[in-house]
Structure 1
Amino acid sequence: MKHLLNLLAAVALLVWGTHLVRTGVLRVFGANLRKFLARSMRNRFTAALSGIGVTALVQSSTATSLMTSSFVGQGLVTLPAALAVMRGADVGTALMAVLFSTDLSWLSPLFILVGVVLFITQSASAAGRIGRVLIGLGLMLLALQLVVQATGPLFSAPAVRALLASLNSDVLLEITIGAAFAVVAYSSLAVVLLVATMASSNLVPLDVALGLVLGANLGSGILAVLTTAKSSVQVRHVTIGNLLFKLLGVAVAAPLVGLYLRHVRPYVSDATHLVVLYHLAFNVVVSIGFIGLTNRVAALVTRLMPVPVESVATQRQHHLDPSALSTPSLAISNAAREALHQADIVETMLIGMLNVIKHNDLQLAQELRKLDDTVDELYSSIKYYMTKISREALGEDESRRWTDIISFTINMEQIGDIIERVIIDIEDKKIKPQRNFSEAGMAEIVELHQRLVANLRLGMSVFLNGNVRDAQRLLHEKARFRDLERTYAGTHLDRLSEQTALSIETSSLHIDLISDLKRINSHICSIAYPILDLVGALSPSRLRTSRLGELEQS
């Protein structure tokens, strides 16, 4: 029992080390890897080469699959190009298996020592995240040593040897077991390295080991399909197409296992190298041999899983892709795009509010109030999506962007609530009693509303681009809007003193309305604070005018 526990712990350590490397690399290079992938998809061959490079860094073809799938879901790349990337991704993970199969045990303590020092002393910087990668590499190498030590006593037991012997000459069973291991371990690389280690210790026959390797390759494809099961059809096209390639490759390679052993074994005496070279050869042959089929497989997948056609009224791109959560930079970008959609709906409500005030349109008022439910739903969806992004997986800039998105969506949700309350007041105090604002009062409301719409659009631009000069303009607009609100409150009181009938009837509504418009403007202008605070243009209570002068001159 103790030996079994030691083996399970070693396998868990191997999987965890692979996870640390994958997440660490994505934290350091995530955004750059996405840009590199997107730029390299001009043709199938450069796409495949980029897949090799990215997967060699993240040590996970599944992670590369999820990044590539998200590009297809956003319409940035075509499905054939994405499938070509996956052909290279499989080669990349096979190359890493070959590298780790060599005797690198002496690097394990060095990687762990340097990694821990970097991670502890500079955890918030890029050096700290690189330290995390080194810790993962060191743990992987250490885990491989522990697997060798634990498997010896365990697999010498008669019962275990009998169980392993039952796998002989049953390729389908070997492939199934290998696929199951890869899915459970969330890493085909870890399974291949484990199988290679077991083969070197004579714990499993070589033909069984190669069958398990085929299963691990198939399992990585199944894992990607399961991970994107709830994503859009376009995203699932990539993982389904990649799984078809793997199924085709396994079907061709399975009957040829004996041929490989017969011709290669005389030249490669070490069992570990024999297994990992088979893994590499399988992926290279499949990638080169099948890369010309990417267009046909893409057409087949599209035919099997057609993209549902939505009506014009309901058609919209939803950006909160669950498969992007493993790539924090991509998930942050998706949340920002969904937040902008939330702001678009708020803008629709804001523009419609003036039409309700002008034309006493009860039907439009009801439609706008329903839109607030949509704003609230988007806020909840974005907030829930953001909470699933690991804060530890974010760099300093991404962490700041995470906070900005949450703040932006909160402001938009509160603006929507204010607009809904304003519309209810308009219905109860103006439309139903059939009252109207005075001509001067309506002109004031229209001017404040126009400034409000312009400020909302400027605020959306500031949120999207982070432009300091626009953020300054937005904050200046807050002061101008406040002055206007005070001025118009005074002129309204003047009209009351003149006994203007319309002003008397709508006095309470008018004062409440311009106050609510000011509150909406305050929420909009708060978008500027994080941008200005970052460049040191804010004092604790107001804009630091001297700093603003320096920024305007620069």
Structure 2
Amino acid sequence: MTHLLNLLAAIALLVWGTHLVRTGILRVFGANLRHILARSVGNRFTAALSGIGVTALVQSSTATALITSSFVGQGLISLPAALAVMRGADIGTALIAVVFSFDLSWLSPLLIFIGVVLFIPRQASTMGRIGRILIGLGLMLLALRLVTASTEVLMQAPAVKALLASVGSDLLLEITLGAVLAVISYSSLAVVLLIATLAASGGVPLEVALGLVLGANLGSGLLAVLTTARSSIEARQVPLGTLAFKILGVMVAAPFLGWWLLNVRPLIGESASVVVIFHLMFNVMVGVAFIGLTNPVARWTQKLLPKPEKNASGERPNHLDPSALSTPSLAISNAAREALHQADVVESMLLGVLEVIRKNDLKLAEDLRKMDDSVDALYSSIKYYLTKISREALAEEESRRWTDIISFTINMEQIGDIIERVLIDIEDKKIKPGRNFSEAGMAEICELHARLIDNLRLSMSVFLNGSVRDAQKLLEEKARFRDLERAYATTHLGRLSENTVQSIETSSLHIDLISDLKRINSHICSIAYPILDSAGALAPNRLRQPALADNNL
């Protein structure tokens, strides 16, 4: 029992080491890898080469599939180009398996030691994350050595020999078992390395090992399909097309396992080398032989998963792609894009308020109040999406961006609530009683409203670009708006003293309305504070002018 637990622990350590390497590389180089993929899809061959390079670095074709799927979902690359990238991605992960099949156990303690030295002092820095990658590589090499030691002991047990003999009698069972292991471990690379190690130590007959390798390849395709199951149709098409290629490859390769063992095995020698080279040649065969089928497979995939028809309800793409969560920088970008859409809805509500005041349009007021539900729903979705991004995975700048997005969406949600209450007041105190603002009072409201729209659009620019100059301007507008609100409250009181009938009838609504507009403006202008604070341009109670002069963009 102890030896079995040792083997299971070694397998878990191998999977964990693979996870550390994959997530570490995505955290450090995720944005650069996305740029490489996006720029290399001019034709299917350069796309395949970029897939080889990126996957060799990430050590996970599944991770490459998720990145590529998000590109297709956003319309950045075409589906055939994405499928070509995935043909190269499978070759890339197979090449890494070949590298790890060599005896590199002597590197394990060195990598772990250097990794810990880099990671502990500065965990959130780039060097700390590189240390995390080195720790993962060291753990993978250590785990492979532990798997070998544990297997040699377990192979002496008669029950284990009987179990392996039963598995070896059915190729379909071997393929199924390999696929299940790849899905459970979230890494076909870890499974292939495990199979190669078991084959080298005699834990698994070679003919069984090759069947398990076919299953592991199939499992990696199935894993990507499951991971993107809740993504957009466009994002789900890439994993489905990739799975189709893997199924075709398995169907072609399965009948030739006996031929491989008979003719190629003597040329290679060691069992572990036979396994990883078979894995490599399988993926090279699928990549080279089937790369010309990217367009037909893409068309078949699009027929199986057709894009939904856009309806009159204004259905829009949702930028909160779950498959992007494995790449924090991409997920942060998606959340920011969705936050800007939330601001667009708030702008529509704010523009409609003036129309309701001018035209006494109860139907428009009702429609605008319903839009607040959309603002609230967007806020909840963005907040939930951001909470699923690991804060540990974010660099310092990305962590600040995470906080800025949360702050921005909170302010937009609160503005939506204020607008809803304003509309209710307008209905109850103006439209239903049939009252109107005085000409001077309406001019004041229009002036404040126009400034509010301008400030909202400026705040969206500040949120998007982080311009210190625009943030300074936004904060200056806050002061001007406050002064205008006070001045207009004073002139309104002057009209009351002159017994202006319209001003008397709408006095309560007028004062409340300009006060609510000032509150909305305060929420809008609060977007500037994080930008100015990061630039060192804020004093405790006022703008620090010299700092602003030094940090203007």
Same fold (TM over 0.5): yes
| Secondary structure at 1:480 match in 2 | helix
Contact 2:51–2:87 under 8 Å retained in 1:
yes
Q: Which amino acid in the other structure matches residue 75 of structure 1? A: G
CA distance in 1, matches of 2:168, 2:545: 80
Alignment of 1:234-383 (within 5 A): 234-383=234-383
> In the alignment, which residue of structure 1 is the partner of 2:30?
30
| Secondary structure at 2:268 match in 1 | coil
> In the alignment, which residue of structure 1 is the partner of 2:47?
47
Alignment of 1:36-185 (within 5 A): 36-185=36-185
* Counterpart check, 1:550 vs 2:537: no
How big is each residue's C-alpha offset from its partner over 1:214-252, in whole Å with a ceiling of 9 and x where there is no partner? Answer: 000000000000001111111111000000000000000
CA shift for structure 1 position 551: 3.5
| Secondary structure at 1:358 match in 2 | helix
CA distance in 1, matches of 2:103, 2:145: 10
> In the alignment, which residue of structure 1 is the partner of 2:535?
535
> In the alignment, which residue of structure 2 is the partner of 1:195?
195
* Counterpart check, 1:501 vs 2:501: yes
CA distance in 2, matches of 1:475, 1:194: 60
> In the alignment, which residue of structure 1 is the partner of 2:431?
431
Contact 2:87–2:287 under 8 Å retained in 1:
yes
CA distance in 2, matches of 1:359, 1:368: 14
CA distance in 1, matches of 2:106, 2:24: 22
CA distance in 2, matches of 1:169, 1:46: 42
Q: Which amino acid in the other structure matches residue 209 of structure 1? A: A
CA shift for structure 1 position 31: 0.9
* Counterpart check, 1:519 vs 2:519: yes
CA shift for structure 1 position 310: 2.2
CA distance in 2, matches of 1:6, 1:205: 21
CA shift for structure 1 position 506: 1.0
CA shift for structure 1 position 169: 4.1
What is the root-mean-square deviation of aligned Cα atoms in Å? Answer: 1.0
How big is each residue's C-alpha offset from its partner over 1:469-501, in whole Å with a ceiling of 9 and x where there is no partner? Answer: 111111111111111111111111111111111
CA shift for structure 1 position 358: 1.1
CA distance in 2, matches of 1:548, 1:68: 41
* Counterpart check, 1:385 vs 2:385: yes
CA distance in 1, matches of 2:501, 2:246: 80
CA shift for structure 1 position 166: 1.2
CA distance in 2, matches of 1:158, 1:319: 55
CA shift for structure 1 position 537: 0.9
> In the alignment, which residue of structure 2 is the partner of 1:479?
479
How big is each residue's C-alpha offset from its partner over 1:278-322, in whole Å with a ceiling of 9 and x where there is no partner? Answer: 111111111011111000100111112211102132321111111
CA distance in 2, matches of 1:326, 1:312: 34
CA distance in 1, matches of 2:229, 2:4: 34
CA distance in 1, matches of 2:549, 2:306: 57
How big is each residue's C-alpha offset from its partner over 1:27-83, in whole Å with a ceiling of 9 and x where there is no partner? Answer: 101111111111111110111111111111111100000000000011110000000
CA distance in 2, matches of 1:519, 1:194: 62
CA distance in 2, matches of 1:156, 1:449: 83
Contact 2:535–2:551 under 8 Å retained in 1:
no
How big is each residue's C-alpha offset from its partner over 1:335-379, in whole Å with a ceiling of 9 and x where there is no partner? Answer: 111111111100000000111111111110100000001100110
Paired residues, number: 553
CA shift for structure 1 position 4: 1.1
Structure 1 residue ranges without an equivalent (≥5): none
How big is each residue's C-alpha offset from its partner over 1:85-141, in whole Å with a ceiling of 9 and x where there is no partner? Answer: 000100110011011111111111111111111111111210011111011111111
CA distance in 2, matches of 1:437, 1:311: 40
CA distance in 1, matches of 2:396, 2:255: 51
CA distance in 1, matches of 2:185, 2:196: 16
* Counterpart check, 1:401 vs 2:371: no
Q: Which amino acid in the other structure matches residue 288 of structure 2? A: I
| Secondary structure at 1:111 match in 2 | helix
CA distance in 1, matches of 2:316, 2:117: 48
CA distance in 2, matches of 1:445, 1:421: 17
Q: Which amino acid in the other structure matches residue 106 of structure 2? A: W
Q: Which amino acid in the other structure matches residue 516 of structure 2? A: D
| Secondary structure at 1:166 match in 2 | helix
How big is each residue's C-alpha offset from its partner over 1:388-444, in whole Å with a ceiling of 9 and x where there is no partner? Answer: 111111111111111111111000000000000100111111111111111001000
CA distance in 2, matches of 1:249, 1:444: 72
Contact 2:152–2:202 under 8 Å retained in 1:
no
CA distance in 2, matches of 1:23, 1:444: 56
How big is each residue's C-alpha offset from its partner over 1:506-527, in whole Å with a ceiling of 9 and x where there is no partner? Answer: 1111111111101101111111
> In the alignment, which residue of structure 1 is the partner of 2:443?
443
> In the alignment, which residue of structure 2 is the partner of 1:11?
11
> In the alignment, which residue of structure 2 is the partner of 1:222?
222
Q: Which amino acid in the other structure matches residue 312 of structure 2? A: V
How big is each residue's C-alpha offset from its partner over 1:264-290, in whole Å with a ceiling of 9 and x where there is no partner? Answer: 212211111111111111111110111
CA distance in 2, matches of 1:456, 1:370: 20
Structure 2 residue ranges without an equivalent (≥5): none
TM-score, normalization: structure 2? 0.99
| Secondary structure at 1:266 match in 2 | helix
| Secondary structure at 1:436 match in 2 | coil
Contact 2:468–2:548 under 8 Å retained in 1:
no
CA distance in 2, matches of 1:331, 1:551: 28
Q: Which amino acid in the other structure matches residue 519 of structure 1? A: R
CA distance in 1, matches of 2:338, 2:178: 39
CA distance in 2, matches of 1:154, 1:312: 65
CA distance in 2, matches of 1:145, 1:266: 25
CA distance in 2, matches of 1:393, 1:254: 41
CA shift for structure 1 position 325: 1.0
| Secondary structure at 2:313 match in 1 | coil
| Secondary structure at 2:297 match in 1 | helix
| Secondary structure at 2:434 match in 1 | coil
CA distance in 1, matches of 2:467, 2:317: 26
TM-score, normalization: structure 1? 0.99
